[in-house]
Amino acid sequence: MLSVAPDRVAAIRALAHDAPDRLLAALPEAVGRPEFCLHDGPFRWSVAPAPLPDVGEWTASTAPGLPPWLRLFDRPVLVVRDADGTYLAGAGIKRHDAYGHELAIGTVPAARGRGLARRLVAQAARRVLDEGAVPTYLHEWDNVASARVAEAAGFPDRGWRAYGVYPR
């Protein structure tokens, strides 16, 4: 399934019978963005996140001390801070539509290996489910740490893939 602008549907349909590798290589131009690159990675989802304990607190994305990537969210974000209030890890929810909400996670290097990311993913996933949507999780194929986080948080690899066309 591809989601494209209505004026690009015909161009995508014309590629539909190509071999998958040719189709994917042609996608940036077919969607009108030849200067962009193609992302191909695992697509994970869960309706049963791991029963890990909550670790973060929901706060405004405009709260002081948050990294720039968390400020892009227009709703509260889930944040873990140390005893001094310094940001350690966070999660945001990308609400693509009423049905699928993608989780975005980040942990500062000094706080990695403590299980914060997996607990944040599970906690944020429970919130998405409470909102009536399905939490999704994307990562790069070679990001082994992110794959481990996903598995531990209850997002198994079901063999699904996600493709996207993004700026370089």
pLDDT digit string (tens) for 24-60?
Answer: 888 899 889 999 988 889 999 999 999 999 999 999 9
- Asked if the model's pLDDT at residue 1 lies above 70, the reply is no
Q: Top-level CATH class of 44-161?
A: alpha beta
Ranges of each domain in the chain: 6-35, 44-161
pLDDT in tens, 104-138: 999 999 999 999 999 999 999 999 999 999 999 99
- Asked if the model's pLDDT at residue 96 lies above 70, the reply is yes
Is residue 89 within 8 A of residue 108, CB to CB? The reply is yes
129-156 average pLDDT score: 97
User: What is the token pair recorded at 86?
Assistant: 């310094």
The rounded mean pLDDT for the chain is 93
- Asked if the model's pLDDT at residue 80 lies above 90, the reply is yes
66-85 average pLDDT score: 97
